[in-house]
Homo-oligomer: A and B are copies of this chain.
Amino acid sequence: MIELDRNGPPLTTQIADGLAALIQRGQLGAGSRLPSVRQMAARLNVSTFTVIAGYDRLIARNLIEARAGAGYFVIGAAKSHAGDLSAALADPVDAVGFALQALDSSGAVVRSGSGFLPEAWLSDVVPGALVARVAKARNALQATAPAQGHLGLRRQLSDHLAGVGIAAHPTQIITTIGATQSLDLLLRTLLQAGDSLIVEDPGYLFYSAQARAMDLNLVPVPRLTDGPDLAAFEDAVKSFKPKAFVTQTLLHNPTGGTTSAANCHRLLALAESRGLAVIEDDVYGAIAPKGATRLAPLDGLRRTYYVGSFSKLLSPALRVGFMAVPREAVDRIVGQKILSVLGTPSLSEVIVEAVLDSGRYLRHTLKVGGKLAQYRQRAREVLTEAGVTLGPADGLFLWGRFESMKDSDSLVRRALEAGILLAKGSLFSPTGSYADYLRFNVAHSCDVRLGQFLRNAASLPPKAEVHYLRRK
């Protein structure tokens, strides 16, 4: 009838969900009698208490009923409990829909468009035993952490940042729910509705979405192979009096490019002369070449807000990010953090502290960097054969032009139906350009199914559109 996985979710959940699925699919029809609690417990080799708890949850879901003295009977399939539709029907052609798809690992099988590493690549770096040890330590689950973040982690981060030349005292470091929250807090603190923000075109898809939701004025500057277009940057600074500029210096998302040292120096000089704040997102920095030039060390954290994260390379389940900011900005940003989330989960933070302390993170990122280099080579072959023109790129992504793509929305939707998550280029463009580009995660793009799909894409007949839920 149902089978239990002893390493899976709680047994009660498995019993309730297993039976619910049978009821929903009609294999247990309305009116049929469930095995008695004792029978079920014997059959599944669990306690009667566990079975009762499972049955109780089916009663709460209105799928079965208890008849006094007679046992448990199926009421019938409940339409309203058919599952979690909102992610399954999310349309991958806008930023929020794409994020819903990218985060839902129960979705597409070939996750070429994802920004995350495959789960298997992260399986060793945070051992269950380390989590167990940390969780059993004194007050790990009972104590609140300071609003600014767990001090032990901030000290580790301070030491860690010293390694890339950033002198950030622990009191200048603020932990966050990943880099996304760092950006949210920085935009809320440094800018007001109507202010202008310089973003890169193409650039990370959420900057623009976050800024638009706050009614900021977006000023796009083209991203070239060696960083932002300096002439356009200078023009933008003069014409729009922007308050801030957000950039990824190293292993830029989506292009995989890196800003040259000379370009870094010029950008900072321009920002300085015009009083701009610089937000440097360095979430891939740990796999960048040693000695790469970043803005924050050049600037000495005077006007640079440095953003890091452990969601990409360590664990997406912990959601630990951080920023190192100018001293005088700390209080305002921590104040905004308090009003947004009160505090960040200290359990996640003590786990990251322990991983950093053990030296595991350093070894892990070296390993990931080596693996990415191998995969990049293979992904290049798969994609080039399929007709994608790729530029030079390092790090997690390849950015490619796919000329046979007539309508990227239709292609991306059709790919999803075939179990392939693609990231369309225009998602990364604040001007809606790059309509014939796609971003590929090299760790997910060596799959022959991806190559096949793309090769066939040009010749596919047009197809009736699926009806996606309209967002907002």
Which positions in A face B, CB cutoff 8 Å?
7-10, 12-13, 17, 53, 57, 60-61, 80-81, 84-87, 96, 99-100, 102-106, 116, 119-120, 122-123, 126, 128-129, 131-132, 135-148, 151-152, 154-156, 158-159, 162-163, 169-171, 177-178, 180-181, 184, 193, 206, 209-210, 213, 311, 315-319, 330-332, 334-336, 338-348, 351, 353-354, 357-359, 469, 471-472
Also in contact, A345 and B317, with CB within 8 A (given A7-B137, A156-B13): yes
The answer to whether B347 and A103 have CB atoms under 8 Å apart is no
Q: How far is the CB of A154 from chain B (nearest CB, A)?
A: 8
CB distance from A347 to the nearest CB of B (A): 5
Interface of A: prevailing SS: helix
B339 A319 Cβ-Cβ under 8 A: no
Does the CB pair B13–A358 fall under 8 Å? no
A458 shortest CB reach to chain B, Å: 32
* Closest beta carbon of chain B to A104's beta carbon, Å: 5
Are A159 and B60 closer than 8 Å at their CB atoms? yes
**In the complex the two chains form, is A60's CB within 8 Å of B162's CB?**
yes
Nearest residue (CB) in B for A80 is: B169
Partner of A116 from the list B136, B144, B156, B311 (CB cut-off 8 Å) is B144
CA distance A9 to B159 in the complex (A): 16
Q: Which residues of B contact A12 (CB under 8 A)?
A: 357
Q: If the complex has contacts A53-B359, A177-B344, A348-B348, are A84 and B317 also in contact, measured as CB distance less than 8 A? A: no
Which one, B96, B132, B359, contacts A135 given CB within 8 A?
B132
Query: Which of chain B's residues have a CB closer than 8 A to the CB of A152?
Result: 9-10, 13
With a cutoff of 8 Å between Cβ atoms, the chain B residues found around residue A169 in the complex are: 80-81
Q: Which of chain B's residues have a CB closer than 8 A to the CB of A343?
A: 103, 178, 316, 319
- CA of A157 to CA of B12, assembled, Å: 14
- Chain B residues with Cβ under 8 A from A155's Cβ? 13, 17
Report the minimal beta-carbon distance from A403 to chain B, rounded to whole angstroms.
Answer: 31
Q: Do B146 and A104 touch (CB < 8 A)?
A: yes
Contact partner of A318 (CB less than 8 A), chosen from B128, B136, B158, B347, is B347
Closest 3 A-B residue pairs measured CB to CB?
A: A132-B132, A128-B136, A131-B135
Residues of B within 8 A of A137 (CB): 7-9
Chain B proximity of A419: nearest CB distance (Å): 17
Residues of B near A122 (CB, < 8 A) are: 141-142
Sample of 5 more A-B contacts, CB < 8 Å, known A87-B146, A96-B338, A144-B316: A9-B137, A61-B159, A80-B169, A86-B148, A86-B171
Please, which residues of chain B bring their CB within 8 A of the CB of A131?
131-132, 135-136, 141, 347
What is the distance, in angstroms, from A246's C-beta to the closest C-beta of chain B? 14
**30 A-B residue pairings within 8 Å (CB atoms):** A7-B136, A7-B137, A10-B353, A10-B357, A80-B169, A81-B169, A85-B171, A86-B171, A87-B146, A87-B148, A96-B335, A99-B342, A103-B145, A122-B142, A129-B132, A131-B131, A132-B136, A142-B316, A144-B317, A177-B177, A178-B342, A180-B340, A181-B340, A184-B340, A206-B339, A311-B342, A317-B347, A319-B341, A319-B344, A347-B348
